[in-house]
Chain A
């Protein structure tokens, strides 16, 4: 089904936006088909009257039939080899690449033809023929426009094996039953109850506590609670010191034993470039600035809290990103949640990715705009939403939207996937929407110069209307920034809640950002920044490849430093965290309801501060624990280990 969008170019009932930005920004939504009463689509009568304008032919991002239907929520994904043979022989380049994308590890190399079973022949000497059914891909976000990408975009989300899914549900079922049993025992005072309860006299009143809402916390989370909130007592660099805790009542209370576990390899901190350190140029500069300005500011940006450090920082950020102007805020979460309401309002449309961060969701909800969610990184879904929105306009009145804002992130930290930015930019230009890019995890971590996902894809920063990011991850500081055109930033300086009400950034933090940003840009005179960037990409590639070779299921893009490793079963969440700590490695584990019920995972964050020895130690430990807990679920083919082509020099990102 190809939709024809009728653009009403002559009689412009797009309506003038009432917000302050109307004069500064071009009218975004073209919406507004002149409708007759009772009809949804323009009729022949309107066409003959010349009221309806140009016909836009095919959708930009290929036909929505096959690959879009492939994305269903339950039984999904391409069926291995057999379905390919049923495909029509006449193939355009886009469907040829779709064929390629049916693999477990799809590549979008333009200019190479697919061989018979879909594998592009690479320069590997021995090519494994397919012996058994290939592991299916969970999501087919097929890149059907490979001309937009300069290098291969390789993402994989291998599907959960069915047996593992069944066992996971059984695990949760057993835990639920035991939870009910324990609640029963607690209720009848057979077991000691550590949970807060009402007084005896109030038992007959309307209940004060929603006991059922804490069911998971009481019965599942408490059992494995020692994997989270571990206190550390050193800088969370590549290695850290963890305070040892012991519990005598099964994780309800903890006591410190007094000992400290030293030199735990830190695979959980967002320390991508290794700037979490208390020695070096950054720390010295921060100390100097603390002596000069003190630690606190004591006011907001709009009142007395605008220091010259902030001005210097903002000029530097603008230069770093390649935008006209920028503004820095004291808190990354608040940057999103306080600025999106300033940008959009009632009558605007926000198209947000399924897996967007809580700050983006909160900002969107606070703004009062209509929010529509598209499937994660799925361009067909986004395009469909855009077209529907423009054709139908606002929900009841069918008036055109005042603004359409697409909100995406650079790297999604729970999935490790990178946004398909070239396609989104093409879409946004086509349909005249705005783009809000949240580069919390990707700034400093991606791209040959470390300028983020825009640099990674080689795009023009001017194409992204609002570039947002945080300093928490790669810069070793705190806070967030927004970069864009000068009019936008000037508007935000006056209208953002964070600028008017929230305290501005602390001076030592701002100085830390300035110093670390100069190091990354190479302006401090050393090659430290370039070294770290290269080290990060090498570490990322090495780590990911080794984990894949071992047979784990890893999600995400091959270039993303966030590596989620799938655990699936609830008991393995706790077991993995504890076993890793026994082997002196600190990891983050995540389970339901933070992730979908069968997709609990352990998330590793590779850092430039990790040396190869540390990574090898970590990998050995992960393999050990993987064998112990049977975590090596992957059913894709393993490359022969004897080839010796596992050298990492060949996999430099740039």
Chain B
């Protein structure tokens, strides 16, 4: 009942949009001892769960919020260790780089980095739209909405509310908050990033 991937023809298999599954009957099933389970497959085959799109659950896994917070902390420390930047500049830079990264990975990149058996439903959705299967106001969504706001507060404080910094930080914050609104779920303004 376990399947085998035809990896001998792997370059060929990249030509096709979907990979071919070879189903092996009878005595030939003996040949397959070490089954391929990491290869993204067409039909959850060799998969440990019935979730069609693992991307929906990644942000709920254990420890990922902590990792994210640590990542932002490491970014901040790296920027602080550059001798040219003053503290306000560093905070603004942290805020801007964090928001840029969040925008790119959550709101710009579409689809999944692996093939999913959901027949392409998630191909045109950004990661934010895929989270929890489109359900709004789950805890992950709230967390990722609040964290740029917290960073914004901290940056505003440490830049002593300087006008230039304020403008930059606010624009950056808005760029990452507005796509998170439930009203903008699936909306592509001016057709940018539609396909």
A binds B: yes
Q: Which A residues fall within an 8 A CB radius of B?
A: 73-75, 159-160, 162, 165-166, 168-170, 173, 176, 194-196, 208-210, 212-217, 220-221, 224-225, 227-232, 235-236, 240, 252, 266, 268-270, 276, 330-333, 352, 354-359, 361-362, 373, 414-415, 440, 470, 472, 477-478, 480, 506, 508-509, 573, 586-599
Contact of B44 among A173, A361, A597 (CB under 8 A): A361
Check B163 for interface membership: any CB of A closer than 8 A.
no
Beta-carbon contacts under 8 Å, B34-75 to A: 34-41, 43-51, 54, 57-58, 60-64, 66-67, 70-71
Asked if B37 and A228 make an inter-chain contact with CB atoms under 8 angstroms apart, the answer reads yes
Q: Which B residues fall within an 8 A CB radius of A?
A: 1-5, 7-8, 10-12, 14-15, 17, 23, 25-27, 29-31, 33-41, 43-51, 54, 57-58, 60-64, 66-67, 70-71, 109-115, 123, 139
Asked if B50 and A165 make an inter-chain contact with CB atoms under 8 angstroms apart, the answer reads no
10 pairs across A/B with beta carbons < 8 Å? A73-B60, A160-B63, A162-B66, A227-B34, A229-B36, A230-B33, A361-B44, A595-B37, A595-B48, A597-B58
Complex alpha-carbon distance, A236 and B31, angstroms: 7
Asked if A414 and B48 make an inter-chain contact with CB atoms under 8 angstroms apart, the answer reads yes
Contact of A217 among B63, B109, B114, B123 (CB under 8 A): B114
Question: Which chain A positions have C-beta within 8 A of B15?
Answer: 196, 209
Question: Which chain B positions have C-beta within 8 A of A225?
Answer: 7
Complex alpha-carbon distance, A594 and B45, angstroms: 8
Asked if B50 and A590 make an inter-chain contact with CB atoms under 8 angstroms apart, the answer reads no
Asked if A352 and B50 make an inter-chain contact with CB atoms under 8 angstroms apart, the answer reads yes
Asked if B34 and A586 make an inter-chain contact with CB atoms under 8 angstroms apart, the answer reads yes
Contact of B61 among A231, A266, A355, A597 (CB under 8 A): A597
Given contacts A159-B62, A593-B40, contact A268 B67 (CB under 8 A): no
Asked if B114 and A213 make an inter-chain contact with CB atoms under 8 angstroms apart, the answer reads yes
- The binding surface of chain B is classed by DSSP as loop
Question: Which chain B positions have C-beta within 8 A of A165?
Answer: 61-64, 66-67
Contact of A228 among B7, B63, B112 (CB under 8 A): B7
Question: Which chain A positions have C-beta within 8 A of B49?
Answer: 354-355, 414, 595-596
Asked if A361 and B114 make an inter-chain contact with CB atoms under 8 angstroms apart, the answer reads no
Q: Which residue of A has the minimal Cβ distance to B36? A: A228
B127 to chain A, nearest CB (A): 12
Contact of B40 among A162, A217, A573 (CB under 8 A): A217
B47 to chain A, nearest CB (A): 5
Asked if B34 and A166 make an inter-chain contact with CB atoms under 8 angstroms apart, the answer reads no
Question: Which chain A positions have C-beta within 8 A of B67?
Answer: 165-166, 169-170, 173
Asked if B48 and A355 make an inter-chain contact with CB atoms under 8 angstroms apart, the answer reads yes
Asked if B113 and A415 make an inter-chain contact with CB atoms under 8 angstroms apart, the answer reads no
Contact of B33 among A266, A359, A597, A599 (CB under 8 A): A266
Closest 8 CB pairs of A and B: A165-B63, A332-B1, A414-B48, A215-B113, A590-B37, A228-B36, A358-B44, A196-B14
A436 to chain B, nearest CB (A): 15
Contact of B34 among A169, A208, A209, A229 (CB under 8 A): A229
Given contacts A229-B4, A373-B50, contact A216 B36 (CB under 8 A): no
Asked if A160 and B62 make an inter-chain contact with CB atoms under 8 angstroms apart, the answer reads yes
Question: Which chain A positions have C-beta within 8 A of B109?
Answer: 212
Question: Which chain B positions have C-beta within 8 A of A597?
Answer: 54, 58, 61
Question: Which chain B positions have C-beta within 8 A of A229?
Answer: 4-5, 7-8, 34, 36
Complex alpha-carbon distance, A440 and B8, angstroms: 29
Contact of A594 among B25, B33, B46 (CB under 8 A): B46
Asked if A354 and B50 make an inter-chain contact with CB atoms under 8 angstroms apart, the answer reads yes
Asked if B113 and A598 make an inter-chain contact with CB atoms under 8 angstroms apart, the answer reads no
Asked if A594 and B47 make an inter-chain contact with CB atoms under 8 angstroms apart, the answer reads yes
B35 to chain A, nearest CB (A): 6
Asked if A588 and B1 make an inter-chain contact with CB atoms under 8 angstroms apart, the answer reads no
Asked if B47 and A74 make an inter-chain contact with CB atoms under 8 angstroms apart, the answer reads no
Complex alpha-carbon distance, A228 and B33, angstroms: 9
Q: Which residue of B has the minimal Cβ distance to A591? A: B38
A260 to chain B, nearest CB (A): 14
Complex alpha-carbon distance, A210 and B8, angstroms: 21
Given contacts A196-B11, A509-B26, A586-B34, contact A210 B50 (CB under 8 A): no
Given contacts A228-B37, A588-B34, contact A166 B26 (CB under 8 A): no
Given contacts A166-B66, A227-B34, contact A472 B113 (CB under 8 A): no
Complex alpha-carbon distance, A330 and B41, angstroms: 23
Complex alpha-carbon distance, A399 and B46, angstroms: 37
Given contacts A210-B111, A331-B1, A594-B37, contact A169 B64 (CB under 8 A): yes
Given contacts A216-B113, A358-B45, contact A598 B62 (CB under 8 A): yes
Q: Which residue of A has the minimal Cβ distance to B114? A: A216
A363 to chain B, nearest CB (A): 11
Given contacts A215-B113, A229-B5, A597-B54, contact A358 B63 (CB under 8 A): no
Given contacts A333-B23, A596-B61, A598-B63, contact A235 B39 (CB under 8 A): no
A606 to chain B, nearest CB (A): 14
Known A212-B112, A216-B114; further 4 A-B contacts with Cβ < 8 A:
A168-B63, A213-B40, A229-B5, A361-B44
Question: Which chain B positions have C-beta within 8 A of A595?
Answer: 37, 47-49
Asked if A355 and B1 make an inter-chain contact with CB atoms under 8 angstroms apart, the answer reads no
B2 to chain A, nearest CB (A): 8
Question: Which chain B positions have C-beta within 8 A of A598?
Answer: 61-63
Complex alpha-carbon distance, A252 and B49, angstroms: 29
Complex alpha-carbon distance, A478 and B67, angstroms: 45
Question: Which chain B positions have C-beta within 8 A of A352?
Answer: 50
Asked if A593 and B47 make an inter-chain contact with CB atoms under 8 angstroms apart, the answer reads yes
Question: Which chain A positions have C-beta within 8 A of B61?
Answer: 74, 165, 596-598
Contact of A212 among B25, B47, B111 (CB under 8 A): B111
